[in-house]
Amino acid sequence: MGKKYRGRPLSIFISFFKPHKKMFIIDMLCAFGVSIIDLVFPIVSRRSMQTYLPEKLFGAFFTVIAILIAAYLLKAVLYYIITVMGHYMGVLIEADMRREVFTHIESLSFSFFDKNRTGALMSRVTNDLFDITELSHHGPENIIICSLTLAGSLIVMFFIRWELALVVAVALPALIVFTLLQRKRMQNASKDVRKKTAEINAAIESGISGVRTAKAFANEEEEKRKFDRANGLFKIAKHDFYKAMGMFQSGMEFSTGALQVLVIGVGGLLIMLGKMDYIDLITFTLYVSAFLSPLRKLVMFMEQYTQGMAGFERFIELMQTEPEIKDSENAVKLESVSGDIRYENVSFAYSDGTEVLKNVSIDIPHGTSLAVVGPSGGGKTTLCHLLPRFYDVTGGKITVDGVDIRDITQESLRRNIGIIQQDVFMFAGTVRDNIRYGRPDATDEEVVEAAKRAEIHAEIMEMPDGYDTYIGERGVMLSGGQKQRLSIARVFLKDPPILILDEATSALDSITEGRIQASLDRLSKGRTSIIIAHRLSTVRGADRIAVIDSEKIIEEGSHTELMKKDGAYAGLVKAQKLGE
């Protein structure tokens, strides 16, 4: 993926046309036809006025008029094809880019999402690619039409009157230099607008996602202030862009208007000197209009180009971001998993140097359960996140069935691990959809069986539409206990040999916790399980308990053994009893 996006942005952009080259060729042929028709009209008009009318060849004159009408009818058809097919080609290219960027985002590591806000990423996938449709359509089309029309008009003008054509030719480089200078300014301003738009989207996403918290704290005004700040920066950036665009367009308008006046002035002088007639001047001014029309199109195109390429460069910037965690070249698929897990002198530190684990070693034989307890921030969750390679160890290694997990494909490793967390994510959809997420190819009967094993089937059947009940954004229409049991049903459906329970019941009341604990016990049976728990009453039945504090394991043993030691674990148990 990364190599494709190394190089000049324009070259990368052009590569997206390759899958749609048939549509592109048709679009360009139509654009070529439009240019030819525009170039033919003035020269045919000149011949009619100089030959057919003075010599009273009325039949030939009206034949030419009929041909011109037919030509402009053909031009209308060509423009219809350009508009429909060209725009659809742009949509297809935009859709290709959006698929690639979404797929790439899905491949990035946890650390990337730790540093980037959801709203800003949404802007990359939507707003930054919005103008790509117009650019990918109008870009090649305008280049063909404008180039042919400019070159053709200039050549014909030299044949009509070289002195006047020279005036136009001398003015053209000045216009090109002005365009190039202003393009850079507009592009920089457009990139700034894109960044500010991403900040607005991030503020909106945060405000909507956290609306319940904002209302609970009566902090709606604070959220408005955050949004107004981002919105204010957007307005400033947009104003700067429009100033750059205004300078560009006003300069072009002056230049093109002055050129027409100059042509008429020089043409009038040539008529006075007897070197030119009125018909040639009229024909020449028609070609000047034909010459200026593509210039004005280029003015409009420059806005599309700067906005489209600014978004495209941000797209490239994201596509060049490499996942921190990759499969090794000789990575193998994890199959027929027994579930023996071993942490060997494992250390982990974040990129900023903050150390979380140091030289941790622990064995978890297949079919056994390990409970991990300790104070908040001690490294319990990090220990579990290292197993499915959400993050990579910075020292030591972790093995599953004797194979270093860095030598196993991420997909097969995670396919064999089931994770149930305290903060359960539910997708906007039905109950059935959310359970089936554990195994997308599962039958309806298998979904129901998973729900029964998670002890949620009866409650689902009492919902308005049963398994087809819509549960709202992030499962907002469900209780905490229902969401937790749906997540358990997902894992039952997935049926992995390794299980991670990350404080799965700590946010629930005692009665609900008891019901869910029974489901978890049933789920854990016969699987290798790692259990992170805040409530120590839930881990007494674990085969072994490890206490983590200050980056390392300070105690390990069964509940009975650790209570006899009267150490850190016993102290935690006593503290919780006192709290009760």
- Decide if pLDDT at 580 tops 60: no
pLDDT in tens, 460-515: 999 999 999 998 877 788 887 888 888 888 888 888 899 888 876 655 566 666 76
- Decide if pLDDT at 219 tops 80: no
329-416+498-580 homologous superfamily: P-loop containing nucleotide triphosphate hydrolases (3.40.50.300)
pLDDT in tens, 52-73: 666 777 777 788 788 888 888 9
pLDDT in tens, 85-112: 888 888 888 888 888 888 888 888 777 8
DSSP E strands, 226-340: none
Integer angstrom CA distances of residue 112 from 1, 109, 135, 351, 402: 17, 6, 30, 11, 29
Packing angle of the helix pair 132-160, 278-319 (nearest 10 deg): 150
- Decide if pLDDT at 431 tops 80: yes
- Decide if pLDDT at 214 tops 70: no
What was the pLDDT predicted at 345? 93
Q: Where are the domains of the chain?
A: 3-319, 329-416+498-580, 423-495
pLDDT in tens, 114-165: 777 777 777 777 777 777 777 776 777 777 777 777 777 777 777 777 777 7
What was the pLDDT predicted at 578? 41
Question: Which CATH code fits 423-495?
Answer: 3.40.50.300
- The strand pair at 528-532 and 369-373 is best described as parallel
Q: What percent of the chain has pLDDT over 90?
A: 9
pLDDT in tens, 262-305: 777 777 777 787 777 777 777 777 667 766 667 667 766 776 77
> How far apart are alpha carbons 430 and 402 in whole angstroms?
40
Query: What band does 365 get if pLDDT is binned at 50, 70 and 90?
Result: very high
Query: Which has the minimum average pLDDT: 213-227, 437-451, 519-533?
Result: 213-227
Q: Average pLDDT in the 526-550 region?
A: 83
- Count Cβ atoms within 10 A of the Cβ of residue 260 and give its class: 0-12 exposed, 13-18 middle, 19 or more buried: middle
What was the pLDDT predicted at 552? 86
Please tell me which residue, 53 or 433, carries the higher pLDDT value.
Answer: 433
- Decide if pLDDT at 579 tops 50: no
Query: Which has the minimum average pLDDT: 193-197, 206-210, 423-427?
Result: 206-210
- Decide if pLDDT at 1 tops 60: no
Query: What band does 406 get if pLDDT is binned at 50, 70 and 90?
Result: very high
- Pick the closest to residue 471 from 423, 419, 437, 432 (CA basis): 432
What was the pLDDT predicted at 577? 67
Q: Is 493 left (phi over 0), alpha (psi -120 to 50) or beta?
A: alpha
**In which element (H, E) is residue 502 found?**
strand 498-502
Q: What is the DSSP code (8-state) at residue 39?
A: H
- Decide if pLDDT at 13 tops 80: yes
pLDDT in tens, 375-398: 877 788 888 889 989 889 999 999
pLDDT in tens, 310-329: 778 878 888 888 888 888 88
3-319 homologous superfamily: ABC transporter type 1, transmembrane domain (1.20.1560.10)
Same fold, 329-416+498-580 and 423-495: yes
